Amino acid sequence: MTKKIYLIIFLIAFYLFITQFQNIARLVYPFHYRDIINEETRKYGIEPYLVVGVIRVESGFRENAESNKGARGLMQVMPQTGIWVAEQIGLEDYSEEKLFDPHVNISIGTWYLVDLLRQFNGNVYAALAAYNGGRGHVSRWLEEGIWDGSRDNIGSIPFPETRAFVLKVERAYNLYRLIYEEQ
């Protein structure tokens, strides 16, 4: 084939990639449970892309996910946290098994994330670190100057799993915004 034909094939492939980018990206980054997430994030005043980012990182959208520490469901809510949040939001007939119900799990997980954002004055990085590593740990790190709560100093977070979690959720959040945010 001549160079001209290769160039034409390349341009066609490039055009298809550019015009179909969003569709391809949505296959790689699906937005499962979108209706529930949108309902709960509207209710609690938080961006849906942050919640879907947490879900992607925590469970990979597996509603029956359970960690070796006992966290359950899409947002990997600990049973004790589920009990506490259910009381806070007036969720009747709550049981730990309901953490495997997507609506219950997303409602509890979203409320809890919003509560952490309130505690840490809207600092998303601190709230995400607390979601993964515990609010008590993050409060201590901030009070003792171990970590300043900034994106630039995430490397100062003492728990490697928590550092990785915060960065993964940030990445997923940014990609979901890019792919799904209305232009």
Q: Give DSSP secondary structure letters for 40-80.
A: HHHHHT--HHHHHHHHHHHHTT-TT-B-TT--BTTTTB-HH
Residue 167, judged by CB atoms within 10 A of its CB (0-12, 13-18, 19+), counts as middle
How far is 4 from 106, CA to CA, in rounded Å?
54
How far is 62 from 120, CA to CA, in rounded Å?
29
Instruction: Given the residues 40, 47, 58, 97, select the one marked as catalytic.
Output: 58
Q: Which residue type, as a one-letter code, is found at position 26?
A: R
* 58: annotated active-site residue: yes
* Residues belonging to the active site: 58
